[in-house]
């Protein structure tokens, strides 16, 4: 036992099964109340407690199932915020209760210095930002389009692990990423992240062999102090929308494409946009066009695809393009999706959905209602609030919604047919 004395009790659980302790309160109350041998005072106190605080003996899942707050209270909290982020709107649509714990209560998991998926993601983004900044500064010296294309081609030909190393070193100067500078991490996960960064850039270059698009804006944060902010309105109150666009490329004709780097495979999903759990890219388009009204964003790309298994040493080589065919297929699939003005329809729908989400937040509904779609998207999977909401995979709320071909097609059709006046179309994600 001594060995465990210094350890902490973790109340969160990422596992699939409920923890019996989450149901312990009801049992404990019952046992104390009906225990014939317990002192009378105990029984009396339990009786008073249950009368005055009936919530105390309820299971967490029952409380979370119908949890809500008075609308004026939520409004007063939300009004204090300078802006609302796209990720917080998505979070509400993934699960209102999780939104409540994370954004309204502002609870956080304690940071632990360890190799974690979110830190790997930060590292990958930093590597891509630093390396593409290098290209952007070289492009500034070019006199015309031809010279810019030649510079981009020479730069892309240098992409390799060695090329990435100085950027990796620089990235580890960030206090949060210091750990990745240690040999144990740099030699393993570090090499893998450098390979991933280099491959991502090589794939984007190969996808656009003519270099029609060249990177222009990196880590573009909005609202921008000198540019028009993008506003979302709910209950008569304007909220400034905020977010961070990883990269925006511009074509010679002034057309823009937005790129979001991903650590794991991701394609755009009509169903996720319909559910409001992936509003990011279409809302970024709106924000960018509000800031630059003379530019049009026509393509939205997620740069994240399936790679070789990490234990296959051959996958550490740079530029094995045939093996990485999935990357090109993913980019081509997404590119095709945005033909014929589809991005404008998606942005219209996303804007409406975002405003609808804000209205729902302000109304105070924070019930635990996770949107679980098939087996691919499940917000409960990595949620740290299992014990707070009484997570149980057997509860009705844990049943997945269908994500078959018919549902996907219906979502796509609803979004493409949507116009701003057509309020009914986007309501009730569970209707698909
Ligand atoms: S575990 Fe699932 S239901 Fe519970 S708060 Fe998290 S996302 Fe919501």
Q: In this structure, which residue's CA is closest to atom 5 in ligand 1?
A: 98
**Rounded CA gap, 125 and 259, in Å?**
12
- What pLDDT is attached to residue 171? 97
- Check whether 205 has a pLDDT greater than 80: yes
Of residues 431, 428, 373, 432, the one with CA closest to residue 400: 373
Least confident of 195-199, 210-214, 243-247, 321-325: 321-325
Residue 380 CA, ligand 1 centroid: distance in Å: 5
Residue 379 CA, ligand 1 centroid: distance in Å: 7
Question: Whats the size of the chain, residue-wise?
Answer: 432
Q: How far is CA 269 from the centre of its chain?
A: 13
Residue 84 CA, ligand 1 centroid: distance in Å: 21
pLDDT in tens, 27-39: 777 787 788 888 8
- Check whether 49 has a pLDDT greater than 50: yes
Residue 268 CA, ligand 1 centroid: distance in Å: 24
Residue 66 CA, ligand 1 centroid: distance in Å: 13
pLDDT-above-70 percentage for the chain: 89
Residue 98 CA, ligand 1 centroid: distance in Å: 6
For residue 247, tell me if it sits in a domain: yes
Atom of ligand 1 nearest to the CA of 98: 5
Atom of ligand 1 nearest to the CA of 380: 2
Testing ligand 1's pocket by substitution, the residue of 100, 372, 379, 401 carrying the most ligand atoms inside 8 A of its CB is 379
Q: In this structure, which residue's CA is closest to atom 2 in ligand 1?
A: 380
DSSP state letters, 78-96: HHT-SEEEHHHHHHHHH-H
How many domains does the chain divide into?
Answer: 1
At 45, the pLDDT band (50, 70, 90 cuts) reads confident
For residue 187, tell me if it sits in a domain: yes
Residue 296 CA, ligand 1 centroid: distance in Å: 38
For residue 431, tell me if it sits in a domain: no
pLDDT in tens, 231-275: 999 999 999 999 999 999 999 999 999 999 998 888 899 999 999
Q: Determine contact, residues 404/266, Cβ cutoff 8 Å.
A: no
Residue 164 CA, ligand 1 centroid: distance in Å: 39
Backbone φ/ψ region at 364: left (φ over 0), alpha (ψ -120 to 50), beta: left
Q: Residue 301: give the domain boundaries.
A: 117-353
For residue 167, tell me if it sits in a domain: yes
Atom of ligand 1 nearest to the CA of 386: 1
For residue 57, tell me if it sits in a domain: no
Residue 370 CA, ligand 1 centroid: distance in Å: 6
Residue 263 CA, ligand 1 centroid: distance in Å: 23
- What pLDDT is attached to residue 429? 45
Q: In this structure, which residue's CA is closest to atom 7 in ligand 1?
A: 380
Of residues 341, 364, 338, 357, the one with CA closest to residue 270: 338
CA angle 273, 276, 282 (to 5 degrees): 50
At 421, the pLDDT band (50, 70, 90 cuts) reads low
Atom of ligand 1 nearest to the CA of 397: 3
Q: Write out residues with Cβ below 6 Å of ligand 1.
A: 95, 97-98, 368, 370, 379-380, 383, 385-386, 389, 391
Summarize the confidence of residues 62-83 as an average pLDDT: 92
DSSP 390: T
Testing ligand 1's pocket by substitution, the residue of 65, 391, 397 carrying the most ligand atoms inside 8 A of its CB is 391
Say if pTM beats, i.e. exceeds, 0.75.
Answer: yes
pLDDT in tens, 291-336: 999 999 999 999 988 765 544 555 545 444 455 578 888 999 999 9
Testing ligand 1's pocket by substitution, the residue of 14, 67, 97 carrying the most ligand atoms inside 8 A of its CB is 97
- Could you give the C-alpha distances from 41 to 31, 37, 46, 56, 306, in angstroms and in order? 14, 11, 9, 18, 63
- What pLDDT is attached to residue 59? 83
SS3 (DSSP) at 294: coil
- Check whether 172 has a pLDDT greater than 80: yes
pLDDT in tens, 99-154: 999 999 888 777 777 888 889 999 999 999 999 999 999 999 999 999 999 999 99
- What pLDDT is attached to residue 425? 45
For residue 421, tell me if it sits in a domain: no
- What pLDDT is attached to residue 324? 58
Between 155 and 22, name the one with better pLDDT.
155
For residue 284, tell me if it sits in a domain: yes
Residue 18 CA, ligand 1 centroid: distance in Å: 12
Residue 354 CA, ligand 1 centroid: distance in Å: 21
At 10, the pLDDT band (50, 70, 90 cuts) reads very low
For residue 283, tell me if it sits in a domain: yes
pLDDT in tens, 333-387: 999 999 989 999 999 999 999 999 999 999 999 999 999 998 878 999 889 888 8
Testing ligand 1's pocket by substitution, the residue of 60, 62, 67, 95 carrying the most ligand atoms inside 8 A of its CB is 95
Atom of ligand 1 nearest to the CA of 390: 4
pLDDT in tens, 386-406: 888 989 989 999 999 999 999
Summarize the confidence of residues 158-172 as an average pLDDT: 95
């Amino acid at each position: 036992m001594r060995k465990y004395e210094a350890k902490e009790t973790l109340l969160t659980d990422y596992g699939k099964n409920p923890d019996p302790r989450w149901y312990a309160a009801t049992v404990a109350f019952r046992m104390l109340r009906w225990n014939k041998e317990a002192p009378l005072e105990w029984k009396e106190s339990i009786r008073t407690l249950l009368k005055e605080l009936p919530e105390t003996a309820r299971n967490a899942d029952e409380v979370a199932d119908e949890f809500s707050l008075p609308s004026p209270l939520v409004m007063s909290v939300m009004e204090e915020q300078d802006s609302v982020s796209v990720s917080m709107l998505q979070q509400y649509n993934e699960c209102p209760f999780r939104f409540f714990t994370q954004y309204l209560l502002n609870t956080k998991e304690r940071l632990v210095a360890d190799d974690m998926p979110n830190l790997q993601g930060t590292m990958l983004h930093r590597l891509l930002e630093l390396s593409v900044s290098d290209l952007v500064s070289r492009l500034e010296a070019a006199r015309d389009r031809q010279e810019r294309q030649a510079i981009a081609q020479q730069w892309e030909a240098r992409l390799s692990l060695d090329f990435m190393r100085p950027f990796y070193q620089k990235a580890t100067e960030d206090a949060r990423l210091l750990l990745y500078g240690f040999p144990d991490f740099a030699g393993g996960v570090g090499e893998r992240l450098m390979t991933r960064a280099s491959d991502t850039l090589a794939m984007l270059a190969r996808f656009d062999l003519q270099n029609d698009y060249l990177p222009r804006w990196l880590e573009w944060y909005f609202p921008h102090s000198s540019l028009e902010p993008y506003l979302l309105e709910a209950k008569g109150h304007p909220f400034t929308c905020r977010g961070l666009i990883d990269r925006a490329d511009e074509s010679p004709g002034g057309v823009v494409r937005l790129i979001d780097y991903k650590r794991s495979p991701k394609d755009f999903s009509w169903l996720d946009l319909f559910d409001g759990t992936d509003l990011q890219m279409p809302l970024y388009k709106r924000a960018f066009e509000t800031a630059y009204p003379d530019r049009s964003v026509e393509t939205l790309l997620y740069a994240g695809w399936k790679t070789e298994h990490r234990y296959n040493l051959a996958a550490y080589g740079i530029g094995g393009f045939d093996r990485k065919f999935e990357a090109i297929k993913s980019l081509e699939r997404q590119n095709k999706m945005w033909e014929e003005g589809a991005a404008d329809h998606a942005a219209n729908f996303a804007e409406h959905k975002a405003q609808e989400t804000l209205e729902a937040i302000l109304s105070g509904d924070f019930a635990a209602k996770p949107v679980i779609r098939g087996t691919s998207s499940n917000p409960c999977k990595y949620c740290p609030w299992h014990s707070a909401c009484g997570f149980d995979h057997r509860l009705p709320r844990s049943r997945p919604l269908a994500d078959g071909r018919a549902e996907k097609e219906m979502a796509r059709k609803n979004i493409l047919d949507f116009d701003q006046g057509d309020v009914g179309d986007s309501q009730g994600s569970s209707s698909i």
